[in-house]
Amino acid sequence: MSLAQVREWVGAARRLAVLTGAGMSAESGVPTFRDAQTGLWAKFRPEELATENAFRANTAHVWDWYAMRREKLKGVAPNAGHRALAEFALRHPGRLTLITQNVDGLHQRAGSPDVLALHGNIAQDKWLDAPRRCCTAQPPVDGRPPRCAVCGNLRRPAVVWFGEMLPVDVLEAAEAAAQACDLMLVVGTSGVVYPAAGLARTAAAHGRMVVVNPEPSDLDDAAHVVLRGTAAGLLPQLLAHT
């Protein structure tokens, strides 16, 4: 089947879901998780830095790694694929559910509303331990990382680390969207990370699922159509005139 056929499906879908992965942001120049291991950080494995245990054991070291990644993202902008999704959502309120595995925040910066960020957002922080009243009564004290001035509770990047569960409310909303959608576009993901990959297979079982990826993925076997191309190249063609 062709691009034109998928465009017809998009136009006819009452409920459209989109699941995006690292390939979505590749054309914006966002380094992948492992590509962030450069320079000073090249000798470390990401899995050694992205855990609660690592943060507690070497807090400033892990905080600095995330600070470096945040700094790199400042020079990155949403690409045509991000913009096409945001513009579609604004033209069709309530019709599109956008689910992402990315933590770069580019969908939000492009203007997409109500993004379901399965793995969090690297630009945001949260409390390491359950916050006490003192933690929320005043701004945290600056540091590497910032901390509560009273109890010493630390701020940490608001991302899902290895060994942590996905946010329950976000995952439940994503699962509901996968079951209810007429069509899901799966963009720029390898399809090997679960439970995210399971959302695509759920959508394929309940409706139609289309893979948009320049390279083969582990979800190609379940797709009704596979479109070989990039997010920035194909999404504007699929969404711009619907």
Catalytic residues: 119
- For residue 40, count CB atoms less than 10 angstroms from its CB and return exposed for 0-12, middle for 13-18, buried for 19 or more: exposed
Please compute, for residue 70, the number of CA atoms within 13 A of its CA located in the half-sphere on the CB side: 15
Query: If DSSP states are collapsed to H, E and C, what string results for the chain?
Result: CCHHHHHHHHHHCCCEEEEECHHHHHCCCCCCCHHHCCHHHCCCCHHHCCCHHHHHHCHHHHHHHHHHHHHHHCCCCCCHHHHHHHHHHHHCCCCEEEEECCCCCHHHHHCCCCCEECCEEEEEEEECCCCCHHHHHCCCECCCCCECCCCCCEEEEEECCCCCCCCHHHHHHHHHHHHHCCEEEEECCCCCCCCHHHHHHHHHHHCEEEEECCCCCCCHHHCCEEECCCHHHHHHHHHCCC
Q: How far apart are CA 179 and CA 58, in angstroms?
A: 42
